[in-house]
């Protein structure tokens, strides 16, 4: 019984961590959607209520209530997840020292025909690899940068428009790859 409750709590916690991924770990992003873990945790909680509560009316009410919440959350999260369009990788450029890579992605906007360009930095550390967004541009609002390239082992340069018109120099933390700034209006 206690195992079911602990398992339910761990599944919900794993789902929340997967959904938000505060450490930006690439291995965590490879897991299935976080809401699946949360629904499984709620179902395990319902099983714990069914087997752990001795009073019959309370057992039925608690189990059905948790299952209804799990079903409603699963349907809502599934619909929201189906609206997401996963970006496709168009190019990858390694850093001069080979510890990181620039990743160029594009996808269509959720409710519009616009193209969204995403620029990320990914560390090359196996299962401990991390990925950070350094820029995101919606083609309907902003023009994408004319050039994004490495200007050093831990520095990325993004140029906008004709050469000399405007640029953003992004310095990356050598250990984690975390950028000190980003460009674009966000997406």
In-domain check, residue 186:
no
Instruction: State the Cα–Cα distance between residues 120 and 124, nearest whole angstrom.
Output: 13
Domain co-membership, 77 together with 145: no
Extract the tokens encoding 76. 């809502």
Domain co-membership, 98 together with 28: no
Extract the tokens encoding 22. 């505060």
Domain co-membership, 107 together with 164: yes
Domain co-membership, 75 together with 127: no
In-domain check, residue 150:
yes
Quote the pLDDT of residue 164: 61
Q: What is the pTM of this model?
A: 0.68
What is the mean pLDDT of the segment spanning 43-53?
86
Q: Using one digit for the tens of pLDDT, what is the confidence trace for 68-117?
A: 998 998 888 888 777 766 777 788 899 898 899 999 988 876 666 778 88
Give the residue numbers spanning the domain of 31. Answer: 2-83
Instruction: State the Cα–Cα distance between residues 150 and 51, nearest whole angstrom.
Output: 59
Q: What is the domain count for the chain?
A: 2
Domain co-membership, 102 together with 33: no
**Local confidence band at 26 (pLDDT 50, 70, 90 cut-offs):** confident
Q: Using one digit for the tens of pLDDT, what is the confidence trace for 12-23?
A: 888 888 888 787
Extract the tokens encoding 30. 């490879």
Domain co-membership, 78 together with 96: no
Q: Is the pLDDT of residue 180 over 90?
A: yes
Residue 123: strand, helix, or coil: strand
End-to-end CA distance of the chain: give it in Å, rounded: 45
Q: Which residue has the tokens 């990858």?
A: 92
């Amino acid at each position: 019984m206690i195992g079911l409750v602990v398992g339910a709590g761990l599944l919900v916690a794993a789902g929340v961590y997967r959904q938000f991924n505060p450490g930006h770990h690439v291995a965590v992003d490879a897991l299935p959607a976080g809401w699946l873990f949360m629904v499984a945790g709620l179902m395990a909680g319902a099983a714990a209520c069914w087997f752990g509560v001795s009073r019959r009316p309370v057992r039925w009410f608690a189990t059905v209530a948790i299952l209804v919440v799990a079903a409603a959350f699963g349907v809502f999260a599934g619909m929201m997840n189906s609206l997401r369009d996963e970006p496709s990788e168009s190019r990858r450029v390694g850093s001069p020292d080979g510890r990181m890579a620039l990743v160029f992605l594009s996808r269509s906007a959720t409710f519009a025909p616009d193209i969204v360009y995403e620029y990320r930095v990914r560390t090359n550390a196996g299962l401990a690899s991390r990925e950070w967004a350094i820029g995101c541009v919606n083609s309907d609002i902003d023009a994408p940068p004319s050039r994004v390239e490495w200007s050093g082992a831990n520095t990325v340069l993004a140029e906008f428009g004709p050469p000399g018109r405007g640029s953003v120099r992004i310095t990356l933390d050598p250990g984690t790859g975390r950028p000190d700034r980003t460009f674009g209006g966000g997406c």
